[in-house]
Every structure is written in C-alpha cells, then in structure tokens.
Amino acid sequence: MTSSLSLGKVIDLKPIAREIRPKAAPSTQEQYHPTLWQCTVVAAALKTLLLPAYKSTDFEVHRNWLAITRSLPPWEWYYEKTSEWTLDYPPFFAAFEWLLSQPAALIDNGMVDLNSLNYSSWATVSFQRATVIISELLLFASLYL
C-alpha cells in the first residue's frame, strides 16, 4: 500500500496501517494473570481482614526493635542486651525502624519501652499491622513510578 505525491516521493503506508489495526484479543494466559495493582489490592485487603486474627512470632522481635531504636543512641543499637531479639538487620532497616518508632511512641508508649518484654496491646498490634500494609503499598506504588 503506497501512495505517491505530486512531488514524486513515494510514502510507505504499511507501518501506519499496522498501528491503526486493532490489537488482537489478549491471550488466555494474559486474561487469567492478575496485574501487580490487583495483587496489591488483594494483599492489602487480606491483611486488613486478618488484622485481629493472629500474632506471629515476629511481633515481639519488631516491637523490641522499635524500642531499641527509640530508646538507645544509634551506636548502641547493635549491642543491646536486655532481650534475645537484638537488632541484626542492616543500618538502613534500623533507620526505618527508628522512623516507625517516632509515631509508635505517640500511639502507645509501652510499645517502645525497652524493658517491656513481650508487651502486647491492641494499639501495638494495630500499629504494627498498619505499618506493614502502608509500607507494602508504598513499595508497590514505587514500582509504578
């Protein structure tokens, strides 16, 4: 499919015709695989529904890390001895825990008390679950940028 102009130039219309044609229907595989956005929404909804259902063993570990990063200066974070759950993640994660410990102290001060081993309250459970959901939503949102 070509067309000629009065100046004698020939224009090839095949690439334009390919772009104008309607795209083929999605394959069966594409139809049944959820998008990243759909997975994000389902994961957040499921975690929200399970909010009051259980408490994992990591609960006290993360609560203690909030207490360590809130109560001690950074140079003591990796040497704290009051709990078996010492901070053993890289410094960026420790800084993230410190960031989370700031609002945690406002929500429930017992959550960030270094001497409150095995401390649990509804506010603490809700805060920890909410921060997981919010962190995952931020992670998934960053994948779209």
Q: Examine residue 135 and state whether it is found in any structural domain, yes or no.
A: yes
Residue 126 to residue 52: CA distance in whole angstroms: 8
Q: Which of 1-5, 37-41, 78-82, 104-108 comes out lowest in average pLDDT?
A: 1-5
pTM: 0.70
Supply the pLDDT for residue 66: 94
Count of the separate structural domains present in the chain: 1
CA separation for the pair 107, 41 (Å, rounded): 26
**In this predicted structure, what is the pLDDT of residue 52?**
75
Q: What is the pLDDT of residue 33?
A: 80
Domain, as residue range, for 111: 35-44+54-145
Could you tell me if residue 123 is inside a domain?
Answer: yes
**Token match 């779209």: residue?**
144
Confidence class of residue 14 from pLDDT cuts 50, 70 and 90?
A: low
Check residues 18 and 69 and name the one with the higher pLDDT. 69
Least confident range from 18-22, 36-40, 138-142: namely 18-22
Helix (H) or strand (E) holding 12: strand 10-12
C-alpha 110/C-alpha 125 separation (Å) is 12
